[in-house]
Amino acid sequence: MGSVSTDCWPKVQAALRTLVSASQYRTWFQGLEPREWHNDQLTLVAPSRYTMDWIARHFLPVLQAACEQVTGNRPVVKLEYCRASLHARPSSNDHLRSNTARLSLYDEDQIQLNDTYTFDNFVVGPCNHLAHAAGLAVAEAPALSYNPLFVHGNVGLGKTHLLQAVCRATLARRPNFRLHYISCETFVNQFISAIERRDLDNFRNRYRRVDLLLIDDIHYLADKERTQEEFFHTFNSLYNAKKQIVLSSDSSPKEIPTLEDRLVSRFKWGLVTRFDAPAFETRVAILNQKAKLKGFRLNPDVAAYIAEHVDSNIRELEGAINRVIALAALKQVKEVTLPFAHDCLKDLFEVSDHVSVGDIIDVVTREMNLKLVDLQSRKRTKTISFPRHICMYLAKKMTSHSLVEIGRHFGGRDHSTVVYAISSVRTRMGKDEDTRQLVGRLEHLVGRSKRVRN
Residues at the contact surface with ligand ADP, assessed by CB under 6 A:
117, 121-123, 128, 153, 155-161, 286, 289, 314-315, 318
Contact in structure between 43 and 37 (CB atoms under 8 Å)? yes
Minimum Å gap between C-beta 356 and ligand ADP is 16
**What Å distances lie between residue 119 and 14, 131, 137, 175, 275, CA to CA?**
35, 12, 12, 17, 16
Beta-strand pair 271-274/212-216: unpaired
Nearer to Mg ion, 80 or 255 (CB): 255
Minimum Å gap between C-beta 368 and ligand ADP is 28
Nearer to ligand ADP, 79 or 321 (CB): 321
Minimum Å gap between C-beta 152 and ligand ADP is 9
Nearer to ligand ADP, 51 or 160 (CB): 160
Residue 92, φ and ψ in degrees, nearest 5: -150, 165
Residue 122 binds which of Mg ion, ligand ADP, none (CB < 5-8 A, kind-dependent): ligand ADP
Nearer to Mg ion, 160 or 288 (CB): 160
Minimum Å gap between C-beta 160 and Mg ion is 3
Q: Which residue among 73, 114, 160, 244 contacts Mg ion (CB under 5 A)?
A: 160
User: Going residue by residue from 103 to 142, which x/- string records binding to Mg ion, judged by CB under 5 A?
Assistant: ----------------------------------------
Angle (CA) 242-244-249 rounded to 5° is 140
What is d(CA 24, CA 40) in angstroms, rounded to the nearest whole number?
25
Nearer to Mg ion, 159 or 283 (CB): 159
Does residue 251 belong to the site contacting Mg ion (CB under 5 A)?
no
What is d(CA 410, CA 389) in angstroms, rounded to the nearest whole number?
10
Does residue 170 belong to the site contacting Mg ion (CB under 5 A)?
no
Secondary structure of residue 95 in the 3-state scheme: helix
Does residue 71 belong to the site contacting Mg ion (CB under 5 A)?
no
Minimum Å gap between C-beta 105 and Mg ion is 21
Question: Binding residues for Mg ion, how many (CB under 5 A)?
Answer: 2
- List, in sequence order, every residue forming a beta bridge with 42; answer none if it has no partner: 37, 77
Q: For residue 148, is the peptide bond before it cis, meaning its omega torsion is within 30 degrees of 0?
A: yes
DSSP 248-278: EESS-GGGSTT--HHHHHHHTSSEEEEPPPP
What is d(CA 286, CA 45) in angstroms, rounded to the nearest whole number?
34
The residue with its CB nearest to Mg ion is 160
What is d(CA 325, CA 310) in angstroms, rounded to the nearest whole number?
17
Secondary structure of residue 112 in the 3-state scheme: coil
Minimum Å gap between C-beta 298 and ligand ADP is 14
Does residue 249 belong to the site contacting Mg ion (CB under 5 A)?
no
What is d(CA 393, CA 387) in angstroms, rounded to the nearest whole number?
10
Question: Within its chain, how far is the Cα of 247 from the centroid?
Answer: 14
Stretch in the footprint of Mg ion (CB under 5 A) among 153-161, 271-279, 355-363, 402-410: 153-161
Nearer to Mg ion, 159 or 168 (CB): 159
Beta-strand pair 110-111/149-152: unpaired
Nearer to ligand ADP, 285 or 333 (CB): 285
Q: Enter the DSSP assignment of 220.
A: G
Which residues would be at the binding site for Mg ion (CB under 5 A)? Answer: 159-160
